[in-house]
Amino acid sequence: MSQTADLPTTHSSPAPERDQTATGPGTELKRPGLVLLLLCVAEFMIVLDFSITNVALPDIQSSLGFSSSALQWVVSSYALAFGGFLMLGGRLGDLFGRRKLFIAGLIGFAVVSLVAGLAQNAEQLIALRAAQGLGAALVAPAALSLLTTSFAEGAARNKALGVYGAVLSFGFVAGVIAGGVLTDVLSWRWVFFVNVPIGLVAGLIAPAVLTESRGGSEHRKLDSLGAFTITGSVLALVYAVSRGETAGWASGEVLGAFGAFAVLLIAFLIVESNVRHPLIPLSIFRRRTLVAANIVYLLMVGSFVAVTYVLTLYLQYVKGYSPLATGLTFSVLGFAAVAAGMLAARLAGRFGLGVTAFSGLLLQAIGMLICSFLPATGDLALILIGTALVGFGNVTGVVMVTISGTAGVPDHEQGLASALLSTAQQIGAAIGVAAFAAIASARTSSLLADGVALEAAGAPALVSGFRLALAVSFGVGVIGSLVGLAALRPAKDADSSAAPETHVPVG
């Protein structure tokens, strides 16, 4: 038997009957390159929008008269709707058609982006950013589940996920660069207008490129109470985390949101245990690798955002870089991410999921440790090396986690598995930004004289806070890498009837 550098397909018991129009491992994909390109373009737009908007925040504030406390809602309203409706969006795609949800999300996102670029006041823009988040919550799980059901589990899917992961990281960096260019040359409104042609063109050509895909069950009734409770619980959690740093973690507002999250989550578990057709079958959580993949994803993204958040502040407030120069500095991370996407599937086939995930996440953590030696003065050689390692390690980890989280999941639940991963990503990002902002601020404040506001802190105090936040992110990254090594190895799930064994050759 010849050796192979690719992961073989998973051996499983027969899945439920598929929709006759669905693509997947049982059918030949006629235009795989075009399908992958379309799905990557859609996800590129979603990631681009996140980073491109952050760069334009100062101009948006001065143009629309945002207060300092209200400005965060340009980002938070988007994250709230995106994270809150992901589970519902993923399950709707499973039940009623992923292509339908994908197209509706793309067109809606493009139209709302056009209106957002024309917003005349702060209230309008905040509401429109929430609408953008809802559109993204339809597109993201649909795109990933369309990919996993269009490419057969094993070599084809792993290579496609490698390209997909590279595009996501590159989209983030491209957004930082494009945001600087568009804001400096044109105006902040163009950071929203740029989504319009991408979303409309992708949405209009999708019917000709994609085949409809959904689960094979005849049941099409939505579990409304389950949808309400899970959406409400995630919304409450993301809101609490987003407001913690501004309102205070012990404030009634934040504690009330955490309380609402707990109550709604308990209600959701009770509902799903007693309805005939649950929105999220609780049996899916018996898949060891799926649960582990979500935990690793949360830790990985939570630590990754520390680098992007802290270094953006460091480069602009300490080094005095413009938004464009800041974006160009991050381009090293983007190119390393693309390289990782091209190599990740091959590395997984040679060394196995667990070892490759551990190596990628450990590289990300080492890159964070290098970045934590932020120079108050001098060149940025160490920072460039650190961000390159972070970019390569992050995408390697993303690909391994996505392979693990979707492997062995029947096609009729791929939208749900994709939504779980996307939700872990959003919650990890929200918690990461809030936690590392609090760590950096607390350290900086402790170095200031009594009565000196945080906004008046000098470079030494700021750098000290940034260094501590990055050092803590290194620790979180190491924990994530160890969890990946222990839990993402091929092994039989606790529920063998629901989760088949995945066999991965070494060498």
Together in a domain, 163 and 247: no
Q: What is the pLDDT of residue 489?
A: 58
| 219-252 residue pLDDT tens | 556 677 877 888 888 788 877 877 776 777 788 8
**Same domain membership, residue 469 and residue 451:** yes
If asked whether residues 234 and 351 sit together in one domain, one would say: no
How does pLDDT run across 329-343, given as a tens digit for each residue? 877 887 888 788 778
Mean pLDDT of 194-205: 88
Among candidate residues 278, 307, 323, the one where a domain is terminated? 278
Please tell me the least confidently modeled range out of 259-263, 306-310, 371-375. Answer: 306-310
Shared-domain flag, residues 62 and 192? yes
What integer pLDDT is reported at residue 214 of this predicted model? 58
Q: Are 413 and 298 found together in one domain? A: yes
355/431 same-domain check: yes
Q: Please indicate, yes or no, if residue 268 is contained in any of the structural domains.
A: yes
Q: Could you tell me the CA-to-CA distances from 61 to 50, 66, 188, 407, 433 in Å, in that order? A: 17, 5, 10, 44, 20
Mean pLDDT of 173-184: 76
Last residue of a domain, one of 238, 257, 278: 278
* Counted domains in the chain: 3
Please tell me the predicted confidence (pLDDT) of residue 220.
Answer: 58
Give domain status of residue 15, yes or no. no
Q: What are phi and psi of 362, to 5 degrees?
A: -70, -40
Q: What DSSP string runs through 259-296?
A: HHHHHHHHHHHHHHHH-SS-SS-GGGGG-HHHHHHHHH
147 with 187, same domain: the answer is yes
Q: Residue 112: its pLDDT value, please?
A: 92
Per the prediction, the chain carries an average pLDDT of 76
Residue 35 lies in a domain: yes
- 3-state SS, 117-135, equals HCCCCHHHHHHHHHHHHHH
- Do 67 and 178 lie in one domain? The reply is yes
Q: Which residue has the higher pLDDT, 91 or 299?
A: 299
Residue 364 lies in a domain: yes
Alpha helix positions (H), 151-218: 155-185, 190-193, 195-209
| In a domain? residue 487 | yes
Total-model pTM: 0.71
What is the tens place of the pLDDT at every residue in 35-64? Answer: 888 888 888 888 777 777 777 777 787 788
DSSP single-letter state for residue 210: P
pLDDT grade for 415, boundaries at 50, 70 and 90: low
CATH code, domain carrying 115:
1.20.1250.20
191 and 70 both lie in a single domain: yes
pLDDT in tens, 113-160: 999 989 888 888 989 988 998 888 888 878 877 887 777 767 777 777
Residue 21, pLDDT > 50, answer no
Which residue among 233, 249, 278 closes a domain?
278
**Cβ neighbours of residue 391 closer than 8 Å, sequence gap 6 or more:** 169, 332, 333, 334, 335, 336, 337, 340, 367
Which residues are CB-neighbours of 99 under 8 A, at least 6 positions away? 142, 146, 206, 207, 210, 211, 212, 213
Structure confidence at residue 306 (pLDDT): 75
297/273 same-domain check: no
Together in a domain, 333 and 262: no
Asked if residue 7 belongs to a domain, the reply is no
The per-residue DSSP string of 132-155 comes to HHHHHHHHHHHHHHHHHHHS-TTH
% of the chain at pLDDT higher than 70: 82
445 in a domain, yes or no? yes
Give domain status of residue 8, yes or no. no
- Distance between start and end Cα atoms, the chain: 13
Structural domain for 167, as ranges:
29-211
pLDDT per residue as tens digits for the range 454-489 = 666 777 888 888 888 888 888 888 888 888 777 665
pLDDT of amino acid 491? 43
Does 144 lie in the same domain as 173?
yes
Tokens of 440: 């950096």
CA 409 – CA 416 distance, rounded (Å): 9
How far is residue 39's CA from residue 317's CA, in Å, rounded to a whole number? 37
Confidence (pLDDT) at 11: 39
